[in-house]
Amino acid sequence: MRVRRWGTALVLLLTATAPPVTAAETATAVAAHPSPAGAPPGPLPLSRLFDNRAVSDNSRPEAADFDGAGRSLSAQDLAAAGWSPGSALTLDGARLTLARTAPGTPDNVLADGQPVAVRGRGEALTFLVAGTGGTATGTGTVHYRDGSRSTYELTAPDWRSGPAATKAVTLPHLNAPGGQLSGTARLYAVTVPLRAGREVGSVVLPEASGPSGALHVFAVSVRDTGRGRTGSWAASTAGYRAVGPWTDRTLRLVVHSGAGGPRARIRIANTFAAAPVDIGAASIAVRGAEAAAKRTPVPLTFGKGHTGVRIPAGAEAFSDPVDFTVPAGTDLLVSLHLPGTVTAAPVHQEAAQQSYLSTTGSGDRTADTGGAAYTGTMTFWPFLTGVDVAGGPGSIVALGDSITDGVKSTSGTNRRWPDVLARRFQAQHALPRYGVLGQGISANRIVTDRYPGEGVSTDTGGVSARHRLERDVLAQPSARTVVVFEGINDVRWGTSADEVIAGLRALAGRAHERGLRVVVATIAPCEGYPDCTPDVEARRQAVNAFVREHGGAVFEATLDFDAVLRDPQRPVRLLPAYDSGDHLHPGDAGLAALGNAVDLRALVPGRS
């Protein structure tokens, strides 16, 4: 065993744990990151620091020891998930590359103060991590090219007991010296903020200390979700449900643009999945009538020119930007060819919009201008989670539940309150013309998960707002402001007012770390809905009192949606003219009232 000192931290390395660094590699690294005479070597690429074996082949499980007890991840399970050595994975907007290492060889770093060569400019740093022996936490340092530095707190959930709701991938087995064991293993993508506008030069990993578990780092990269883009449309993945089966079919999904722009790209997500999905081809078009395009669809490519893409379990894919003018406030058709058989898919269940699919075995119909091939219909959105446009000032994100999702609005008419807000932004010129992204999920909660985060399920209420904040808000293109309008489902299902308030505070704190403006709305009334009891009303009133009386100290602005929707004659219920009829969800008139009640200036960053 030999001892290497990184600054003040000691790292113990088995002499046989990594291939030797060649003289040429050392010279190159030192030249790129010079160190004073007598100081430890400058930052090295992460792969040159690997000192732990996490992955073993099923035929040689004893060749790796991830957790110090001889257990490891199965190379075959990783490959089945699409996580093969050398794979490039996009996780919450960050592109991470797995090490091109053979099973049983070093493939991750036990974090203990090592300086890592990382370059890039963006708003966050993403690590692919896992803890062993418990949740692992620590403080690291980012060194910027201008000589400044900042610290970050990194938490890696335990690979066995960490939450399913935030995992990047779940594997169904463990390898052990005596053979394969049943039981899940998970890896996590964890993102921490960077100082805005500064270029990263290197990153010092957290030091091992205290009772925390061991923190393993598999990959790291700088995430830039801006790059001159604005979100035009988005939908949250609400669950993973059985579909079809769909074999060699094309989906033609109808979505409605908010902001317009001269170039476009789409985002396809395989969130919550256990296996990769193949997209054979894709296209985008302005909608004509029903499933027909107004003009010939524009083909989309992936990875600099490929017509299709394989998306690993839990990952996502962005199409290459294409010259396609997205008009503001217009229905678009996004077509996806599925060449294989798909039996389950990540979905946004409550689309309030009819989309289309071709017949089984009809092949690639993404180039069809007409809609004759699209004989089937569906009222949910599978796979597609975003349409972005080039340019523009950035995005406002509406994080919410069924009211934000437009449940009980007239299908196909785009009358959700975020749609109303988007039209208002596009119709004015006094303020930046932001895109508005509706990230509502019916049945969603702030504090607790409805859908557990993995497995095929009929529950499409999503993971909690706190667990989806990274994916649905912070990773959205050029997100500037988040509007949080949630809590009715929490108080209806027994969550205390104090827990909801703590959840709102936590959401605001994380958004502020990333430089977002945070606006929070009061909870609307629901008397007359079967489970809206006096106890529920008391909890709702307590949360609203906090937002009204103390919100100014926690959030940049508040919206009194309760006051907009309530009946002045009986404030515990919706105004009858705004009630869809179920006494919980506003109808079209109520949603319009919400969208029109928002002072647009309250959503603009930098304004008091």
* Domain at 276, CATH number: 2.60.120
178 and 273 in a common domain: no
298 and 152 in a common domain: no
363 and 499 in a common domain: no
Q: Give the residue with greater pLDDT, 558 vs 27.
A: 558
| 389 pLDDT more than 90 | yes
| 31 pLDDT more than 50 | no
In the numeric block, which tokens belong to residue 189?
A: 């993508």
Q: Strands across the sheet with 149-156, in order?
A: 115-121, 199-204, 136-144, 149-156
What letter does residue 40 receive in the DSSP assignment?
A: P
Nearest to residue 416, comparing CAs of 399, 401, 403?
A: 403
Q: Is residue 230 part of a domain?
A: no
Q: Is residue 332 part of a domain?
A: yes
Overall number of domains in the chain: 3
Beta-carbon count within 10 A of 376 CB: 16
Residue 290 pLDDT level (bands cut at 50, 70, 90): very high
Domain end point (choices 324, 357, 387)? 387
Q: Give the residue with greater pLDDT, 55 vs 212.
A: 55
Beta-strand ranges (E) seen in 157-238 are: 169-176, 179-193, 199-204, 214-223, 229-234
252 and 219 in a common domain: no
Instruction: Tell me the C-alpha distance between 215 and 49, whole Å.
Output: 14
541 and 498 in a common domain: yes
For 479-533, give the DSSP string.
EEEEEEE--HHHHHTT--HHHHHHHHHHHHHHHHHTT-EEEEEPPPP-BTBTT--
pLDDT (0 to 100) of residue 5: 34
273 and 160 in a common domain: no
466 and 327 in a common domain: no
Domain end point (choices 360, 387, 414)? 387
Q: Is residue 598 part of a domain?
A: yes
* CA-to-CA dists, residue 442 to 238, 270, 297, 445, angstroms: 8, 20, 32, 9
Q: Is residue 189 part of a domain?
A: yes
* CA-to-CA dists, residue 406 to 203, 416, 436, 440, angstroms: 43, 5, 14, 8
377 and 398 in a common domain: no
Q: Which residues contact 419 (CB under 8 A, 6 or more apart)?
A: 256, 258, 406, 436, 438, 595
Condensed to tens digits (0 to 9), the pLDDT of residues 167-190 reads 999 999 999 999 999 999 999 999
Average pLDDT over residues 16-30: 35
148 and 44 in a common domain: yes
Q: In the chain, pLDDT over 90 holds for what percent of residues?
A: 91
pLDDT (0 to 100) of residue 394: 97
- Average predicted confidence (pLDDT) for the chain: 93
Average pLDDT over residues 496-507: 98
367 and 405 in a common domain: no
495 and 363 in a common domain: no
Domain extent at residue 368: 237-387
Condensed to tens digits (0 to 9), the pLDDT of residues 77-114 reads 999 999 999 999 999 999 999 999 999 999 999 999 99
The CATH number of the domain where 474 resides is what? 3.40.50.1110
pLDDT (0 to 100) of residue 17: 32
Condensed to tens digits (0 to 9), the pLDDT of residues 406-432 reads 999 999 999 999 999 999 999 999 999
Q: Is residue 8 part of a domain?
A: yes
562 and 423 in a common domain: yes
Domain end point (choices 352, 387, 422)? 387
pLDDT (0 to 100) of residue 227: 75
| 546 pLDDT more than 80 | yes
